[in-house]
Amino acid sequence: MAYDCWLQCVRGCPGRYSVFEVLYHCPTCGGLLEVEHDTAALAERSAQEWRALFDERVRSNEWPYGSGVWGKKEWVLPVLDNERVVSMYEGHTNLFWAQRLGEAIGVEDLWVKLCGNSHTGSFKDLGMTVLVSVVNQMIAQGAPVRAVACASTGDTSAALAAYGAAAGIPTIVFLPRNKVSEAQLIQPIANGALVLALDTDFDGCMALVKEITQDNSLYLANSMNSLRIEGQKTVGIEIVQQFDWEVPDWIILPVGNLGNISALGKGLLLMYELGLIDRLPRLAAAQAERANPFYRSYMGGFGVAETVQAQKTVASAIQIGNPVSYERAVKVMRRFDSLVEQATESEIADAAARADLTGMYACPHTGVALAVLFKLVDRGLIASDDRVVVISTAHGLKFSQFKLDYHANSLPGIEAVRRNPPVELPADLGDVQRTIQSYLDRQGQQIAQGATNR
């Protein structure tokens, strides 16, 4: 069965365009585009058949269906040739049962979707496999694309550079100088991209890359490009699949440019429309208080798209003041029972450290989502028997400096109450024994104090 999909305006203008066309905005109104699917054709297969097909493909060796994204190819981009797919078998990331953290906050059915356990260490891989595959097919069909380009807060450029290198497509990345982590900077360098470190912020990089890609031989890979949304939308589908097709009560995720929440909503709505699920989860979008345009828009009932000058935050990947996918995200927020909440720098750092003490290794953005989780539980919005999923967007190892600074208690304005600095001492048996004894005493006291203080 051949399924169809095409580009269409999010505001509902009538035109339909090929996904292989170099087009980021509606030619009629200038709005964003999205990939539309022929849902009538998709509905000819029953929900039961779709579930069985998707389950059968999990980690299959049959190219490219073992990928978490391409295992759902009919829903993602059916018009792509399998041999053009550029994939690192992204997706199928662990859904971590956060047992100890859940117990500590009184929500035992707490799960963390570890999207950072992926090829380049963030969920951006899910979208980039789709975008780079399409470019790969365009080039094979003779399109004059010379390179792919993006502006990035770090993770998008890492993903683009890796997938570009895997396909042999030149990559140009625009990064705000000194505003991405060391790991994020070295990733595209290692993958051979042209790395432009500019004296501006993300929004400044975005403005420049938009100018540069007016030239159609440079293909724009930012999330205004709707192809990435198609890959990223599998995250919600995959979460439900991992619960044997049961819908959780809440999904909480950190948001910046608003592509990921748009994608999450789009995937869940497609499942709902095709009858794979019979209800929708509640969504909570989490922002850093220092870069909170979406929170402000939400407080104003989404009457206006607020923009801010984003301030420096430990959650550097969401230091964005003018989110590109605002309209898409508002559509999702209105369709779901949803809210936006924000967290301070101290709350973010503390939440990440608290999670780490229960076996996680949370990046600061995951810290934003966890801090919001704690608030919603305190406020009684999340009930003790709710099933809650927190989306962890990147691997903590990409943010070693943040963790080093936390445990050295040197993050400005943050009192690192859970810090655990290394103990430096002479190679002396007595010193070592005394140090171990006092560690064990402290641990014993903490256990005696019980779970409430954890």
Instruction: Tell which residue, 168, 178, 68, has the closest CA to residue 119.
Output: 68
Is 31 among the residues that bind Zn ion (CB under 5 A)?
A: yes
Choice from 280, 393, 414, 416 touching ligand PLP (CB under 6 A) = 393
Instruction: Give the Cα separation of 421 and 447 in Å (integer).
Output: 20
Closer to Zn ion by Cβ: residue 9 or 314: 9
Instruction: Give the Cα separation of 364 and 376 in Å (integer).
Output: 18
The edge-to-edge listing of strands for the beta sheet with 194-198 is: 194-198, 171-176, 147-151, 218-220
From the CB of 124, what's the least distance to ligand PLP, in Å? 6
Is 321 among the residues that bind ligand PLP (CB under 6 A)?
A: no
Closer to ligand PLP by Cβ: residue 118 or 137: 118
From the CB of 227, what's the least distance to Zn ion, in Å? 18
From the CB of 173, what's the least distance to ligand PLP, in Å? 14
274 is in the binding site of which of ligand PLP, Zn ion, none (Cβ under 5 to 8 A by kind)? none
Tokens standing for residue 345: 């720098």
The stretch near ligand PLP (CB under 6 A) out of 137-145, 252-260, 298-306, 420-428 is 252-260
The stretch near ligand PLP (CB under 6 A) out of 88-96, 257-265, 351-359, 407-415 is 257-265
From the CB of 256, what's the least distance to ligand PLP, in Å? 4
In the DSSP assignment, the letter for residue 27 is: T
Is 121 among the residues that bind ligand PLP (CB under 6 A)?
A: no
Is residue 79 within 8 Å of 19, Cβ to Cβ?
Answer: yes
Choice from 7, 9, 237, 239 touching Zn ion (CB under 5 A) = 9
Quickly list H helices, 21-168. Answer: 39-42, 47-57, 73-76, 99-105, 124-140, 155-167
> Rounded to whole angstroms, what are the CA distances from 62 to 1, 89, 129, 362, 397?
18, 11, 17, 33, 31
Tokens standing for residue 36: 């539309």
From the CB of 390, what's the least distance to ligand PLP, in Å? 12
Closer to ligand PLP by Cβ: residue 276 or 285: 285
Is 207 among the residues that bind Zn ion (CB under 5 A)?
A: no
The stretch near Zn ion (CB under 5 A) out of 27-35, 39-47, 125-133, 382-390 is 27-35
| CA Rg value for the chain | 22
Instruction: Give the Cα separation of 107 and 87 in Å (integer).
Output: 36
Quickly list H helices, 213-325. Answer: 226-232, 234-242, 259-273, 293-299
Is 29 among the residues that bind Zn ion (CB under 5 A)?
A: yes
Residues in contact with 439: Cβ distance below 8 Å, sequence separation at least 6, in sequence order: none
Is 365 among the residues that bind ligand PLP (CB under 6 A)?
A: yes
Count of residues engaged in binding Zn ion, rule: CB under 5 A: 7
Residues in contact with 449: Cβ distance below 8 Å, sequence separation at least 6, in sequence order: none
In the DSSP assignment, the letter for residue 337 is: S
Instruction: Give the Cα separation of 397 and 114 in Å (integer).
Output: 13
Instruction: Give the Cα separation of 356 and 9 in Å (integer).
Output: 42
Is 223 among the residues that bind ligand PLP (CB under 6 A)?
A: yes
Closer to Zn ion by Cβ: residue 25 or 442: 25
Closer to Zn ion by Cβ: residue 32 or 80: 32
3-state secondary structure of 90: coil
Is 318 among the residues that bind ligand PLP (CB under 6 A)?
A: yes
Q: How would you classify the pairing of strands 5-9 and 33-37?
A: antiparallel
Residue type at position 219:
Y
3-state secondary structure of 252: strand
Is residue 314 within 8 Å of 345, Cβ to Cβ?
Answer: yes
Choice from 13, 88, 196, 308 touching Zn ion (CB under 5 A) = 13
Site string for ligand PLP, 155-184 (x = CB under 6 A): x-----------------------------
From the CB of 322, what's the least distance to ligand PLP, in Å? 12
Is 367 among the residues that bind ligand PLP (CB under 6 A)?
A: no
From the CB of 2, what's the least distance to ligand PLP, in Å? 31
Is 269 among the residues that bind Zn ion (CB under 5 A)?
A: no
From the CB of 29, what's the least distance to Zn ion, in Å? 3
Is 26 among the residues that bind ligand PLP (CB under 6 A)?
A: no
Instruction: Catalog residues that contact ligand PLP under the rule CB under 6 A.
Output: 122, 124, 155, 223, 254-260, 317-318, 363, 365, 393-394
The residues that touch Zn ion, with contacts defined as CB under 5 A, are 9, 11, 13, 26, 28-29, 31
